[in-house]
Chain A
């Protein structure tokens, strides 16, 4: 159990390689209790690998990952019990109905009958899945599947949320509900780490932002700190991101394509 002054997640000298490719290159990261941390980075920068290492889905080649005071190597099941995870492309059991799936997830996390009944109903109403919960997931749209995956991550009231592109495929109303919900959960002390490509969402929602590039942690801090680091006062996250990742030569690329 961690106190509110401690970091919920501690990564120390964590590295992961896939043969010749360096996915994560010796990063150190502390995620504070009750904050929303956004991880940004171009494709292949190591965001998803980092998230998976935090949950213990991928073993780091070196370094240590400590979640809620537990080393993921020592007791991965204890870590998983307290984490809610939504992968980038959640594969759900399509032969189950939405309700059956959530009931299954609630049982996996050992929720009591009354708890699961109340929470499933609440979330179904909140994310507007009511009326379709009895249909098989195979007939759901991408957004509905994403909502189901999000509910399944929230259902057991985890202490840490690991969300990989959580708002992908959601309609504006549902996206807003999820954003507000995450803010409220943060106020209750739940820590969230989310990876996203949508910079506006990261800027609006996250307390701190980590920018990853080629497996390295290029920058970490609040918007103000990032502006200072990039020496771009008053600029938005897009400009900061492009400057820090060295991918600001967009105009040349577009012109080359038009030629």
Chain B
């Protein structure tokens, strides 16, 4: 193993983070002072936490309470390797997901005199740079400081020594997972043939749902405390699982069993070595594997007379809508548009399922139904409107060079925003009705409200999306300028509030929301009609603005 090569590769791998951050460097040497400051800051913060916890412990006068704290702290020490393992797994996998979204991937430089061992080691170590290592430094610093007060310095030193191997174990597991996943995805594409597109789309959605459920479960409410308790308690019960052996080293040491400490230490090192060489073998075999081409269609080409044509769209407009539909189900970076509705709908559903705490009170169900029906569809309309033009990226030359006019451009793009938002609204409505069981009048009113929001916010964001389109694709598609999103996002919020305000007033006057207002009762139907008038005005005005923006966009096309 050439260690210089490993160090150089780590340096390159760490710099690949620029792709994610979208950094542009002009100088030959970059200043790393900020990075070192972060590590230094983590060390100081750990020190402060340690001193704070230690002082608190020292100040406890009650001997029973002090013993309880001491025991609790020891318990925490023993669970640290497993907690670091779990957190590093999450962080390294998140980093891999982020990189998947970046256009340029980091290919191993296989043509250079570098071995797969060097490459795998560099990749594994580079993965734990950044947030995982900052977390390790913070933890180590805190453990070292607090151990002085607890008079547990030897155990603290051993704990600190187990943290880095734990993070390495997690990173190696992620490396194995990444290589296997790439190979597995390739095999799935090959075997599913034409269905590969949908397998990929649904697979991504299922993965995101599972990821967010796990994430929310751990980070919401008492989830993280439950996790620590579970880890500390379960560690000894599952001693045969190699991933907890580092924790077992500490448990054995704390109990004074030196022989077991030695056995678990050696076993842990052996396991890390086996896992690492497993990753090397997998990289050697599949490191340069490229997924086979997705074959979407085979056989005789038979063009169809489209359904969209029957709805009054010209062949040009229908072609763009169909193309956009394919883009959002095939381009990974665009699939992520479905995350927001998923996240919004997951929280209330998890609440109902009792994952995030106690049962939902009946008075909250009306609010949760409104959240499920209104928020995802409205958010979808806003996001799609913002990004639908910018998502063309470098291929936008085709729009500029083809005979498309502003009217057709706005019509087909707006139609796409509306159609996809309607699909989201329909799915969410069915789920919302099944879960929260609202009264028919509330259900209908909120459905109409959702439709109004989609039309109005879709036109506002589309106009903004055309004006603020950003076709930059490297390091990743930008699609829309951040300032446009900020300004028009706020405007969307204002319009959404205005459109929804009559229903809010209805809820207040009917005392569904406990705000005492000296107003006569407002009927639900009247509230919906006022809402519709506001939404129609917003839609009309901003559709015109979108048309004007599109005219300028096509005229000013300088590519």
Q: Is A207 an interface residue, CB under 8 A from the partner?
A: no
**Residue A154 lies at the interface, judged by CB distance under 8 Å to chain B:** no
How many Å lie between the Cα of A36 and that of B529 in the bound state? 64
B322 adjacent to A57 (CB under 8 Å): no
**A window 77-99: CB within 8 A of B:** 77-78, 80-81, 83, 85, 87, 90-93, 95-97, 99
Let me know if B301 and A113 touch, CB within 8 A.
no
Q: Of B80-88, B126-134, B397-405, which stretch is located at the interface?
A: B397-405
Contact status of A77 and B404, CB under 8 A, knowing A91-B395, A99-B301, A108-B316:
yes
In the complex, chain A residues whose CB is within 8 Å of the CB of B224: none
B293 touches A139 (CB 8 A): yes
Given known A-B contacts A57-B559, A85-B401, A107-B319, A121 and B301 have beta carbons under 8 A apart: yes
A-B CB contacts (within 8 Å), total count: 107
Chain B residues closer than 8 Å to A76, beta-carbon distance: 554-555
Q: Are A80 and B402 closer than 8 Å at their CB atoms?
A: yes
- A30 contacts chain B at the CB level, 8 A cutoff: no
**A104 engages B319 (CB within 8 Å):** yes
* B293 partner, pick from A85, A93, A111, A135, beta carbons under 8 A: A135
**A117 proximal to B (CB < 8 A):** yes
Q: Are A103 and B403 in contact (CB under 8 A)?
A: no
Of residues 131 through 149 on chain A, the ones whose CB sits less than 8 Å from some CB of chain B are 132-136, 138-139
A24 to B126, CA, bound (A): 49
Chain B contacts for A87, CB-based, 8 A = 397, 401
> In chain B, what residue has the closest Cβ to A86?
B401
Contacts of B322 in A (CB 8 A): 104
Contact B403 A57 (CB under 8 A): no
- Contact status A91-B327, CB under 8 Å: no
Q: Give every chain B residue within 8 A of A110 (Cβ-Cβ).
A: 314-316
- With A81-B403, A91-B394, A134-B296 in contact, do A58 and B303 touch (Cβ < 8 Å)? no
Taking CB as reference atom, which chain A residue is nearest B331? A95
Given contacts A91-B394, A108-B319, contact A57 B301 (CB under 8 A): no
Bound-complex Cα distance A111 to B395 (A): 21
Q: Report A162-187 CB contacts with B as 1/0, cut-off 8 Å.
A: 00000000000000000000000000
Asked if B295 is at the interface (CB within 8 A of a chain A CB), the reply is: yes
**CB-based nearest A residue for B557:** A57
* Distance, CA A95 to CA B477, complexed state (A): 15
Q: Within the complex, what minimum Cβ distance (angstroms) separates B102 from chain A? A: 16
The answer to whether A77 and B405 touch across the interface, beta carbons within 8 angstroms, is yes
The reply to whether the CB of B558 lies closer than 8 angstroms to some CB of chain A is yes
Interface residues of B in 309-357 (CB under 8 A from A): 314-316, 318-320, 322-323, 326-327, 330-331
B61 within 8 A of A: no
Whether B305 sits at the interface, judged by CB under 8 Å, is yes
Q: Is B294 an interface residue (CB 8 A)?
A: yes
Assembled-state Cα–Cα distance A22/B45 (Å): 57
Q: How far is the CB of A145 from chain B (nearest CB, A)?
A: 12
Q: Which of B256-306 touch A at CB < 8 Å?
A: 292-299, 301-305
Find out whether the CB atom of A134 lies under 8 angstroms from the CB atom of B297: yes
A32 within 8 A of B: no
Given contacts A107-B316, A136-B296, contact A91 B301 (CB under 8 A): no
Tell whether A120 is near chain B: CB-to-CB under 8 Å: yes
A12 within 8 A of B: no
Q: Which residues of A contact B101 (CB under 8 A)?
A: none
Given contacts A80-B401, A108-B402, A110-B314, contact A93 B323 (CB under 8 A): yes
B404 smallest CB distance to A (angstroms): 7
Query: B475 interface residue, CB < 8 Å from A?
Result: no
B393 at the interface (CB under 8 A from A): yes
Contact A107–B315 (Cβ < 8 Å): yes
Contact indicator B403/A80 (Cβ below 8 Å): yes
Q: Is A55 an interface residue (CB 8 A)?
A: yes
Which of chain B's residues have a CB closer than 8 A to the CB of A132? 293
CB interface residues, A 46-98, toward B, < 8 Å = 52, 55, 57-59, 76-78, 80-81, 83, 85, 87, 90-93, 95-97
Q: Is the CB of B314 within 8 A of A135?
A: no
CB distance B558 to A57 under 8 Å? yes
Contact B294 A58 (CB under 8 A): no
Q: Does B297 contact A97, Cβ atoms closer than 8 Å?
A: yes
Please state if B402 and A136 are interface contacts (CB–CB under 8 Å). no
Would you give the shortest CB distance from A107 to chain B, in whole angstroms? 3
Residues of B within 8 A of A124 (CB): 301
A121 / chain B contacts, CB cutoff of 8 Å: 301
B431 shortest CB reach to chain A, Å: 29
Are A57's CB and B293's CB within 8 A?
A: no
Contacts of A85 in B (CB 8 A): 401
Least distance between A36 CB and chain B CB atoms (Å): 20
- A202 and B295 CA atoms in complex are apart in Å by 37
Chain A to chain B contacts (Cβ below 8 Å), 30 pairs: A52-B559, A57-B400, A57-B557, A57-B559, A59-B558, A76-B555, A77-B403, A77-B405, A81-B403, A85-B401, A92-B395, A95-B327, A97-B295, A100-B323, A100-B326, A103-B303, A107-B316, A108-B320, A108-B404, A109-B402, A110-B314, A110-B316, A113-B304, A113-B305, A117-B301, A117-B302, A117-B303, A133-B297, A135-B295, A136-B293
Query: Top 5 nearest A-B pairs by Cβ distance?
Result: A139-B293, A107-B319, A91-B394, A95-B330, A81-B403
